[in-house]
Amino acid sequence: MSLSNLAWKEISDPIYGHVYYNKEVEERLLSTLVLQRLRYIMQLQTAHLVYPGAVHTRFQHSLGVMHLAGAMAEDILRKLVRFTGAESLEGFSLDELVEAARIAGLIHDIGHGPFGHTFEEAILWRGGVRSEVANHERIGLLLYKHGLKDLLSELGSKHGFSSLADVVEGLVGVEEPRASVLGLVRKIIKDSYYPADVLDFLRRDSYYAGTSEYGSINYEKLYRNSYPNPENLSEIVLDRSGLGEFKAYMLAKASMYHHVYYHSVARAFDRILYEILALVDEEYDLRGVVNSIAEGDIEGFLLLTDAWFYDLMLRESVKTGSRIGGLSRMLLIERKPSWKRVGREVAVTPFRKGWSIVKVLRLAYDSGVREKVRVELAERLSEVFKIPREDVWVDVVDITPLPRSIIYSIRGEPKITLGVCKTTGGRVVLDTPVDLVAEGLPLTVLVRVYVKREDYNVDLESKSTALVEEFLEGVAREMGETPVDLSIYSHMKITS
């Protein structure tokens, strides 16, 4: 069956005007707990405490990704057929692949726990969690297998898409699909420079946060100037006429991470939230709930939402003598985190004296280097400030706008490149890949210092900045150019 033969309904959306979905397949999926729980998980965990408008949900984002993934998949698959012939579809129908891309976009976030990435850090990566459920993508794959796949298989067979359920699994799975055409469509969803997921969340998050200057991306120009790589049909290359927009997109993504996702006050709130999650885990065995997913028991996890946590925290916040209650009051009522930033943040880039691409990557992803900065710098600051060591926190955050899947694949001397082409005379002609760092990619790690609020003194401001810069110069001198094997972080892989 063709997609045009399905019945379509519309949803009003502030980003695209309208998002359309079909009644026969997509509406049935939307009417499940697996998808509906995303209405009760906010997209940006604690950002609403800094940007009050940022209370949109992962459900809204998932609808947007479905919409955009479908448009992007149809565009690039028609180009694939145009330039290489229908045989490049490898036996799949174009409509089935487009529908699979839409559904993969719709379900790409179903594995998120309450408070998104903070849940990963506090629960999934703290130890005691099985490797099969060690990040939201792996959880999402199991939720799909145990909660949606049978339904989608039935719906697909009924409406002429017999391979739909298996194709979707290939698009959201851990391993790269064997079929080149599926690898190409997968790049629309994740594991590429500008997947539908990122294009939607930059525009949507900036809209709701009130920082639209960071989300003004001409996403259509990006995907309409994208083509299958003629030498590797599972890869995407960008026509050089879209390079200007790509650079603007990279800067916009870095700016959103800098000013919204990793806002210095939001980071202080995240630290409180981390402690709350760890305490709740002790009482409610959240890691046990997550591990149950690997055994096929998904109900307990599906009941964990932001709404559940906010109810718990609000009830605890009015109690006296409760550690969770005290932290909850600080987070939800007083809105004054116990940590206050001191000094300006220091940006570490390959252009900083003594630093290089390899060294910046090691600071971002080598846990040994990162901990050296966090621990030893905090100790030094504690001595100079004459305050207890536990009252100093050094935060190291990476705002580089590269997909983690690309970062984690780096071994040896890193060369971060973008494939580019020129389309002419019915051909896609490859050009020399663009070295993104040489072209000004914002490869940046931020180092921020916080002290407990009661220890703060304005006189510490300039001392803090000078000490951080001096310390980082020493780190750069001591650090060799040996790159870290970043594949050891694959269990923590976040493609966006």
Rounded CA-CA distance 437/355 in Å is: 13
Q: Where are the domains of the chain?
A: 3-110+148-262, 338-496
420-424 and 427-430: which strand pairing? antiparallel
User: What was the pLDDT predicted at 495?
Assistant: 41
User: What was the pLDDT predicted at 486?
Assistant: 54
Is the Cβ–Cβ distance between 271 and 393 less than 8 Å?
Answer: yes
pTM over 0.85: yes
User: What was the pLDDT predicted at 255?
Assistant: 94
Chain segment 116-147, per-residue pLDDT in tens? 999 999 999 989 999 999 999 999 999 999 99
Rounded CA-CA distance 256/156 in Å is: 38
Give, for all 496 residues of the chain, the pLDDT tens digit.
689 889 999 999 999 999 999 999 999 999 999 999 999 999 999 999 999 999 999 999 999 999 999 999 999 999 999 999 999 999 999 999 999 999 999 999 999 999 999 999 999 998 999 999 999 999 999 999 999 999 999 999 999 999 999 999 999 998 889 999 999 999 999 889 999 999 999 999 999 999 998 888 899 999 999 999 999 999 999 999 999 999 999 999 999 999 999 999 999 999 999 999 999 999 999 999 999 999 999 999 999 999 999 999 999 999 888 899 999 999 999 988 999 999 999 999 988 999 988 888 888 888 788 888 999 999 999 999 999 999 999 999 999 887 766 665 555 555 678 999 999 888 999 999 998 878 878 889 999 999 999 999 999 998 999 999 999 999 999 887 665 555 544 444 444 4
Q: What is the DSSP letter of 298?
A: -
**What is the CATH architecture assignment of 3-110+148-262?**
Orthogonal Bundle (1.10)
Rounded CA-CA distance 101/208 in Å is: 26
Count H helices, E strands: the chain?
A: 21, 12
User: What was the pLDDT predicted at 368?
Assistant: 83
Q: Where are the alpha helices (DSSP H) in 111-210?
A: 116-119, 136-147, 149-158, 164-172, 180-189, 196-209
User: What was the pLDDT predicted at 408?
Assistant: 56
417-418 and 434-435: which strand pairing? antiparallel
- DSSP character string of 231-259: TEEEEEEEEGGGHHHHHHHHHHHHHHIII
